[in-house]
Amino acid sequence: MATVQRDRVEAGPDAAARQVRLRQALESPIAGPVITLVGVFILFSLFVPRFFQWDAMAGIVNAATLTGIITIGVTMLMISGEFDLSVGPMMAWGAYLFGYMIQRGDPPLLALVVGLLVPTLLGAVNGLIFNWTRIPSFIITLSTQFIYRSLLWVLSGGNMIQTTAKSLPIYAFFNGRLEWLVNLVPGANFRSSLFWLIGLVIVFQFILVRTQFGNHVLATGGNPGAAAAQGVNVKRIKLACFTLSGFLSGLAGVMLFSQYGTARIATGAGEELNAIAAAVVGGTLLAGGSGSIVGGLLGIITISMLRTGIVRLDIVDADNFPAVVGVTIIVAAMFNNWLRTGAPVRPLFDGIKRMLRLRDASPG
């Protein structure tokens, strides 16, 4: 009898600890994205022909890299509580200036600096306008989206830039084909931009969760008034996030030109919605204050995987895939909110409690 009572006492704290660990795991910002990604992967692996093969995996990853780099900046900005709808034109500026200067014969390093500097300044302009006017960032960046695209049209005269240099080392450095990986794994047509994406995700995830700046970004998005009361310079944090968004958009533009050798006025059109969708699917709250860079990466891979699987199944035409993205955003937002509220673990808690009560009520 004493042994049974002792077992009951020990089982109580163990069960409670397991409940706490389970709740913490499900409330993590990346819990929803991980479950979604694994679910989509298993579903398509079962029903899509040749889905679980290297050529399909390489296509999914390659389609996600450039948008994934933009998503890093958009995710940081959304965590701080703001939006950037001008990332597409800033990507176009980076690609166009980088390609134009290389075509003109300027040193590739100078072309890179200009291709990154101008989008970075455009991002900073977004932040300065926001801090000065306090107009919602959605409205500001929707306006600058048209302004930046129009300015690029004026600069270029509406002409496309196309390089005649096909094998510059800087192209291979930013987005070259990884021949050694192709030789090692036949069908694995990966590019160097993959390693840029992974490296940037690691760096900015560390910044977000392990540095004072990251803590200030989370605090600013969660409660700007409370953050300011604790000494956080909210305006400076938001300006930094807008500037970062511009820089990463420009970097994506440089990588795009490095791969295709061409840049148009319409380059990057729609990237803002893809990046926001990836951030939301990745668990970032639209209201700010919660999210993760790793989640954003999982979100863009999930969307890319959906595109590949649905097109291969011929369920939806590729031109109509944005409708699938729209549905995915709604479902992902509902699912992530469901996880955060603890709804999926409540039935489990109730079941454990009933089992314990039955055990306590059992004879002997």
- Partnered with residue 191 across adjacent β-strands are 177
| Structural domain harbouring 324 | 30-357
**Which pLDDT score is estimated for 354?**
57
Where are the alpha helices (H) located in 134-270, listed in sequence order?
137-156, 169-175, 179-184, 193-210, 212-222, 224-229, 234-260
Task: Choose the weakest-confidence range: 24-28, 208-212, 321-325.
Answer: 24-28
For position 160, what pLDDT does the model report? 81
Mean pLDDT along residues 308-331: 77
Inside any domain, residue 58: yes
Q: Which residue has the higher pLDDT, 355 or 88?
A: 88
Q: How far are the Cα atoms of 38, 101, 210 from residue 315, in angstroms, in the given order?
A: 21, 43, 43
pLDDT score of 211 more than 60: yes
**Alpha-carbon torsion angle 345, 348, 354, 358, nearest 10:** -140
pLDDT grade for 19, boundaries at 50, 70 and 90: low
Question: Which of 34-43, 63-72, 148-157, 334-343 is predicted least confidently?
Answer: 334-343
- In-domain check, residue 34: yes
**pLDDT at 243 > cutoff 90:** yes
Label residue 177 by pLDDT band (50, 70, 90). Answer: confident
Q: Is the dihedral of CA 145, 150, 151, 152 positive or negative?
A: positive
pLDDT-derived band at 235, boundaries 50, 70, 90: very high
Query: What is the rounded distance in angstroms from the CA atom of residue 355 to the CA atom of residue 361?
Result: 10
The phi, psi pair for 291, rounded to 5°, reads: 155, 180
- The answer to whether residue 362 sits within a structural domain is no
* pTM score, whole prediction: 0.86
Q: Percentage of residues in the chain with pLDDT exceeding 70? A: 84
Residue 308: predicted pLDDT: 83
Residue 133 inside a domain? The answer is: yes
CB 242 within 8 A of CB 81: no
Q: Can you tell me the distance from the alpha carbon of 55 to that of 60, in angstroms, rounded to the nearest whole number?
A: 9
Query: Distance (Å, rounded) from C-alpha 22 to C-alpha 7?
Result: 22
**Token pair for residue 58?**
């390489």
Residue 348 has pLDDT above 60, yes or no: no
**Cβ–Cβ < 8 Å for 258, 174:** yes
Confirm whether 364 is domain-assigned: no
16 domain-assigned:
no
State the CATH number of the domain containing residue 62: 1.10.3470
Exposed/middle/buried for residue 71 (C-beta within 10 Å: 0-12, 13-18, 19+): buried
SS3 353: helix
Cα–Cα distance, 134 to 128 (Å, whole number): 10
Give residue 87's Cα distance to chain centre: 13
Return the H-helix or E-strand segment holding 263.
strand 262-263
On whether the CB atoms of residues 199 and 67 are closer than 8 A, the answer is no
* pLDDT mean over 250-255: 96
Give tens-digit pLDDT for 65-98. 999 999 999 999 999 999 999 999 999 999 999 9
pLDDT at 345: 47
| Cα distance between residue 355 and residue 364, in whole Å | 16
Residue 2 has which token pair? 């004493």
Q: Quick check: 359 pLDDT over 60?
A: no
Residue 349 has pLDDT above 50, yes or no: no
Owner of token pair 């409940």: 19
**Residue 22 within a domain:** no
* Alpha helices per DSSP H over 27-86: 31-47, 54-79
Examine residue 139 and state whether it is found in any structural domain, yes or no.
yes
pLDDT band with cut points at 50, 70 and 90 for residue 351: low
For the chain, the domain total comes to 1
pLDDT, mean of residues 4-27? 56
Signed CA dihedral, 325, 326, 331, 336: sign only: positive
